[in-house]
A and B are shown apart, each in its own frame.
Chain A
């Protein structure tokens, strides 16, 4: 068909570097996976057998459950080239809503739980409304709503913690996510299992449904997505709504994890969730990243914290290391984007 003097569209560039770059483009989780394996190898050699003990492994999983769940929500948003700084506040507001509705209003615990998740969804819908209909930058919108939601938390809770025993007596279902299944020395909490289930569900949506592909397309190039016939504003709005619902769900996991309902819990969740997403290889510029990457990112944060602590280093070295990991992850993403054109 094409004569000999015409160039073909062949894409097998013989250079190994180019082929590797193509592989990295198609499989962005390779790098975080490599970091995770490398970290595990280093920590296990420094810390010794304790590190790989089933109890320790399941402990790390418990420690990353809340961050991991919120990071799943954050992944959806960052894939659309957005950011959500209000996730931490939505988690706490939802948990306060569940507690107060069950305690003060004497609602059936199951109903209070559902309404709490509905509160999270409403928060997400509010973010989505400002981002899609008023067309404000997500950074500004969620910085604003973060403050608004924090005020609502203080208003609704009166600044008071609901103690563990009170919840146990009136609404034990709220603590159900903290119960654990023993498997030998490992203790897997219901919350961790639910997080993994949610991750599986989101993986399916992102990779096996048209809606998921549209989320990538909108974040990649919103204009191209619109010209391809995708309702970009509908996609954006629903992503913020779903993220809010996931944060509401994370509020339930938070009650299970700490037992009580505190208006101060989850203060670090905002930045930690972004950290997990970024270290997991999802691009802050949108359209690039994965659910599996985010899980790995959350595990990297968890294992580095845990490993550094077991190695007997001061807590400040955890923050120090994680900080560098973020910068390295973002530089790598920038490099990959630059060489693509």
Chain B
């Protein structure tokens, strides 16, 4: 038996083996494997319909696989809902952002896990601890360099796309999460705002959080990812380092125009 520190260093933060999921006759996951190492940015790329969203949904607890295992920090887990996954430290920023546009930034940051004031006023009258939530919201946003959002009582729909993404990311890493899954975080953004969001993702990694980045934007993927997981026909076909492979080769593997390199299945 290896010591706990030794295994913690090599053990993936999030791991999946042999995930299977079919919807009727469509097989969305066909023995998919997945490894996310601690403190890395892992990009997941794959053609439309390759089943990467299904895999990500399974890791986020939104889809229950028919077969296969998921391990979080080496421990076998089974999620029944996104809430389960969140309680274990896996946060997902869905593509639709899952923000309520007419609520304020603070309301959105704490949506679904509000603080109540201590004592009778909180227990009996369910009074929200607004001062504490505002203070923490301000702290989280400034830690991520988002404090130029000056009014945290501003409603989210008055923010730009990049700012909304910033709020969603801040929410994902505000609650002691270990893994943050970002689904197409730059898809709807302009060039400048994309850049700001990529910087934000690096800031999040610098805080020791492992990141899964799903994206179709190859330049972004190759700029920011430590490793790239290539998904095809419901399973992982290769994991490559951006430094070892050109963008066009990665796309060729993704679309099946090129065979995946041998012996590169892991690490």
Residues of A within 8 A of B94 (CB): 227
Is B25 part of the binding interface, using a Cβ–Cβ cutoff of 8 Å? no
Q: Which residues of B in the span 169-197 have a Cβ within 8 Å of any Cβ on A?
A: 192-193, 195-196
Please, how many angstroms separate the alpha-carbon atoms of A227 and B158 in the complex?
22
Please determine whether B192 and A230 come into contact, CB atoms closer than 8 angstroms.
no
Is B96 part of the binding interface, using a Cβ–Cβ cutoff of 8 Å? yes
Q: What size tier do the contact residues of chain A reach? A: 20 to 34
Q: How far is the CB of A219 from chain B (nearest CB, A)?
A: 8
Q: How far is the CB of A78 from chain B (nearest CB, A)?
A: 13
Is B251 part of the binding interface, using a Cβ–Cβ cutoff of 8 Å? no
With contact pairs A7-B192, A11-B149, A210-B126 given, residues A229 and B100 touching in the complex (Cβ less than 8 Å):
no
Is B107 part of the binding interface, using a Cβ–Cβ cutoff of 8 Å? yes
Please determine whether A9 and B148 come into contact, CB atoms closer than 8 angstroms.
yes
| Main SS class of interface, B | loop
Please determine whether B126 and A22 come into contact, CB atoms closer than 8 angstroms.
no
Q: How far is the CB of B240 from chain A (nearest CB, A)?
A: 29
With contact pairs A220-B103, A221-B101 given, residues A211 and B113 touching in the complex (Cβ less than 8 Å):
no
Q: Which residues of A in the span 18-33 have a Cβ within 8 Å of any Cβ on B?
A: 21-22, 25-26
With contact pairs A9-B148, A22-B154 given, residues A287 and B193 touching in the complex (Cβ less than 8 Å):
no
Please, how many angstroms separate the alpha-carbon atoms of A220 and B164 in the complex?
16
Is A341 part of the binding interface, using a Cβ–Cβ cutoff of 8 Å? yes
With contact pairs A9-B149, A11-B159 given, residues A217 and B100 touching in the complex (Cβ less than 8 Å):
yes
Residues of B within 8 A of A25 (CB): 102, 155, 157-158
Residues of A within 8 A of B125 (CB): 209
Q: Which residues of B in the span 78-116 have a Cβ within 8 Å of any Cβ on A?
A: 82-83, 86, 92, 94, 96-104, 107, 111-114, 116
Interface string of A220-263 (1 = CB under 8 A from B): 11011101111000000000000000000000000000000000
Residues of A within 8 A of B148 (CB): 8-11
Please determine whether A9 and B101 come into contact, CB atoms closer than 8 angstroms.
no
Please determine whether A225 and B100 come into contact, CB atoms closer than 8 angstroms.
yes
Is B146 part of the binding interface, using a Cβ–Cβ cutoff of 8 Å? yes
Please determine whether B150 and A12 come into contact, CB atoms closer than 8 angstroms.
yes
Interface string of B100-140 (1 = CB under 8 A from A): 11111001000111101000000001111010000000000
Q: Which residues of A in the span 199-214 have a Cβ within 8 Å of any Cβ on B?
A: 208-211, 213-214
With contact pairs A6-B192, A11-B151, A228-B112 given, residues A22 and B163 touching in the complex (Cβ less than 8 Å):
no
Is B145 part of the binding interface, using a Cβ–Cβ cutoff of 8 Å? yes
Is A1 part of the binding interface, using a Cβ–Cβ cutoff of 8 Å? yes
Please determine whether A230 and B111 come into contact, CB atoms closer than 8 angstroms.
yes
Is B51 part of the binding interface, using a Cβ–Cβ cutoff of 8 Å? no
Q: CB < 8 Å: which of A21, A213, A224 contacts B98?
A: A224
Please, how many angstroms separate the alpha-carbon atoms of A12 and B154 in the complex?
11
Residues of B within 8 A of A213 (CB): 103, 107, 111, 114, 128
Residues of A within 8 A of B130 (CB): 208
With contact pairs A1-B145, A213-B114, A216-B100 given, residues A7 and B154 touching in the complex (Cβ less than 8 Å):
no
With contact pairs A9-B146, A25-B157 given, residues A287 and B100 touching in the complex (Cβ less than 8 Å):
yes
Q: How far is the CB of A340 from chain B (nearest CB, A)?
A: 4
Residues of B within 8 A of A305 (CB): none
Residues of A within 8 A of B259 (CB): none
Residues of A within 8 A of B83 (CB): 229
Please determine whether B158 and A210 come into contact, CB atoms closer than 8 angstroms.
no
Residues of A within 8 A of B234 (CB): none
Please, how many angstroms separate the alpha-carbon atoms of A216 and B116 in the complex?
18
Q: CB < 8 Å: which of B82, B157, B196 contacts A340?
A: B157
Please, how many angstroms separate the alpha-carbon atoms of A159 and B130 in the complex?
52
Is B66 part of the binding interface, using a Cβ–Cβ cutoff of 8 Å? no
Please determine whether A26 and B154 come into contact, CB atoms closer than 8 angstroms.
yes
Q: How far is the CB of B163 from chain A (nearest CB, A)?
A: 5
Q: Across the interface, name the chain B residue whose C-beta is closest to A218.
A: B100
With contact pairs A228-B112, A229-B83 given, residues A2 and B199 touching in the complex (Cβ less than 8 Å):
yes
Q: Across the interface, name the chain A residue whose C-beta is closest to B114.
A: A210
Please, how many angstroms separate the alpha-carbon atoms of A6 and B203 in the complex?
15
Known: A210-B114, A227-B94. 19 other contacts (CB 8 A): A6-B192, A7-B196, A9-B146, A9-B148, A9-B166, A11-B163, A12-B150, A22-B158, A209-B125, A213-B103, A213-B107, A217-B103, A217-B107, A220-B100, A221-B101, A224-B100, A225-B111, A229-B82, A340-B101
Show the binding face of A for B, using Cβ within 8 Å. 1-2, 6-12, 21-22, 25-26, 208-211, 213-214, 216-217, 220-221, 223-225, 227-230, 287-288, 340-341
10 interchain residue pairs of minimum CB distance: A229-B112, A228-B112, A227-B98, A210-B114, A220-B100, A340-B157, A224-B98, A217-B100, A209-B126, A228-B111
Q: List 26 A-B contacts (CB under 8 A).
A: A6-B196, A6-B199, A7-B162, A9-B196, A11-B150, A11-B154, A12-B150, A21-B158, A25-B157, A25-B158, A209-B126, A209-B127, A213-B128, A216-B103, A216-B107, A221-B99, A223-B98, A224-B96, A224-B97, A225-B100, A227-B98, A229-B82, A229-B112, A287-B102, A288-B102, A340-B157
